[in-house]
Amino acid sequence: MRLWQKILICVVPILLSGFVSGLITASSVDEWYRFLEKPPGTPPDWLFAPVWSLLYTMMGLSLALVWHRAPSGPLKTVAVAWFVMQFALNLAWTPVFFGARQVPAGLVVIVGLLLALVMTIVSFFRVERLAAWLLVPYLLWVGYATYLNAGIFVAYK
């Protein structure tokens, strides 16, 4: 299979899951999130969709590169397993934080995501360095999102 085919197979489902996540978020943003006390540096609501679209695309590219270029073996298996784990936590955060409106539980999920993402990047670096570098902006954004979730948690209590 060619790289462009693997890119499509990886990027499209990740983007679609982000789109679905946005649908889940939309009503809760209007009814709940907008009224929360947020920490300094909280971006405007309109910024989240384009940033996540770019990050999801980069995640898909990263995964496709590992799939295509990394040699088969335990290092690749571990790297993909970490990717799956961090992505599952990514997908879990929205329904926990926005859907269930559970700020403390959201903080637990996002800290787990942050740790799993660090492990994903370390694992990807061992098998395909460009794939690891493609995840660095995502790591920075999740770190920032962790700060936002923590700031809301402190004000929410």
- Cα(115)–Cα(80) distance, integer angstroms: 15
**CB neighbours of 34 closer than 8 A, spacing ≥ 6?**
45
- Per the structure, how many domains does the chain have? 1
pLDDT tens per residue, range 80-121: 999 999 999 999 999 999 999 999 999 999 999 999 999 999
Give this prediction's pTM. 0.95
pLDDT at 157: 64
Cα angle at 115 between 22 and 137, to 5 degrees?
Answer: 55
Report the SS3 class of residue 127.
helix
Read off the CATH number of the domain in which 122 is found. 1.20.1260
pLDDT at 156: 80
**b/e sequence 86-99, b meaning 16+ C-beta within 10 Å:** bbebbbbbbbbbbe
pLDDT in 10s for each residue of the chain, 157 residues: 999 999 999 999 999 999 998 887 888 888 999 999 999 999 998 999 999 999 999 999 999 999 999 999 999 999 999 999 999 999 999 999 999 999 999 999 999 999 999 999 999 999 999 999 999 999 999 999 999 999 999 998 6
- Residue 12, domain extent: 3-156
- Cα(28)–Cα(114) distance, integer angstroms: 23
